[in-house]
Amino acid sequence: MVMALIMAVAGGPGRSSAQEAQEANEAYISVAYSIKPGETLYSISKKFYLTGDYERVAKTNGWNPMVGLKSGTSLTLRNPLLLDQYTVKTGDTLYAVTNRYFNRTRYMDALMDYNGISDPNTGLKAGAALRVPLPAGELRYTVLKGDTLFSLAARYFKAADYQGAIAQSNGIKDAAGSIKAGQTLQIPNPYYADEAVSSAPSTPNAPSTPSIPSNGAAVPIGPVIVLSIEIDLGNNTLNVLRGGKALKSFGIASGRKAGLTPTGSYEIITKIKNPWYSAKGIPGGDPSNPLGSRWLGLSVPNTQGTKYGIHGTNAPSSIGSYASGGCIRMNNKDVEWLYDTIPTGTKVRIHA
C-alpha cells in the first residue's frame, strides 16, 4: 500500500487562530500518500476528495499549488473523503477487502493516535476522556478501571460496520454481496466530516449504529452528499444542488447573443478573489471592474479556466438579462456566497 493512516488532532501550519480555536477539540484522519509518476495535485484531489480541490491539498502541505510534483514524494491528505480506490483482484471478497484497510490492530493504533497516546502500556488512565472513532460518529468514553486499549478495540471495532460502509459507498445493496475482478471499489473514510458537503439521514443499507454506553454518545455523520451547479440559460438562473435537489437559486446574466455562453458539462477549476480585468487593465477591487469581487473559472477546453467563468459584476441591474460576453454574471454578494461554498472540482452543467 502507498498510504499510511494517521489519526491526528486538528490544527497545523497555515491555520488562523480562529480556526485553531474552533477545531481545538476536533479530530480527523490524515493519510500519508506517495506520489506516483504523472500525478498532479488536481488528479490526487479528484481521487481522494472527488472534487479536484487541489488548493486544499497544497495548503495542507504548505506547497505552491502551481508547482509540479515529484514522483516518490510523500504528501499529507487531511480528512480525505476516500482512503483509496481499490481494484478488485481474482478471489477477493468484500470481507477480505475490508480487512485490508480495517482490522482490530489498526483500530487500536487509531485509538492511540486519535487520543495522542504514545505508550499503549501506560497511556490509558482511569477517568480519562477518550475519543472513540466509529463509522456512525465519534463516541466520547470515560476510561474505567481495568480498561485496556486492546479491550476497547475488541469492544468497538466491528468489521461488519466497516464492510457495510464500503458496500454503501459503492452502491452494493447487500453488505455481503459479491464483487468482481477488475471492479474499482471506493474505500470511504468512515470518520469523514467536512463543512464543504452536507450530511444526510442514514439509509437502510447504512452501517449499523453501535450500542452506546451510558457514559458516551455518538454523533452521526452519515453518507456524504456532494454539491453541484446547474445553469439554465433559458431563464437566467443558477441553481446549487445538493444530492440532485435544489439548495439555493440565484439570478444571473448570460451571453448577449445565442451561443456566446458555452453549454455542456464542466468543472470549477480556478477561484480568484478580486480578479484583475486584464482586457482594460482594471485592478481587482476597483469599483469599475466588470468582473466584480469573485471569479470561478470553468473547464471549457483550451481556456485553463481564464476565459469563461462565473463572476460578480459592477452592473447589478443587468442580472436577469442577456448582457455578457459569454460569462455568467452574478450579484457580488451571491458570487461571494458561491465562492465560499463551492470547492474547485465542483461539477457545472450549463444548458439552454
Whole-model pTM over 0.75: no
Question: Which residue pairs, CB below 8 angstroms and at least 24 apart, start in 15-22?
Answer: none
Tell me if residue 311 is catalytic: yes
- Domains of the chain (ranges plus CATH)? 3-224 (no CATH), 227-351 (2.40.440.10)
Q: pLDDT value at position 202?
A: 27
Q: How far apart are CA 58 and CA 77, in angstroms?
A: 9
Q: Supply 107's cell numbers.
A: 483500530
Check: CB of residue 126 under 8 Å from CB of residue 172. no
Instruction: List all residues 6 or more positions away from 215 whose beta carbon is below 8 Å from its beta carbon.
Output: 140, 141, 142
Average pLDDT estimate for 94-116: 87
* Catalytic hit among 56, 158, 294, 311: 311
Nearest to 197 by CA among 53, 36, 40: 53
Mean pLDDT on 307-334: 97
CB 335 within 8 A of CB 296: yes
Name the pLDDT band for 295 (thresholds 50, 70, 90).
very high
**Overall average pLDDT of the 25-47 stretch:** 79
What is the rounded average pLDDT of the residues 280-291?
Answer: 90
Active-site annotation holder among 327, 330, 335, 348:
327
pLDDT at residue 62 tops 50? yes
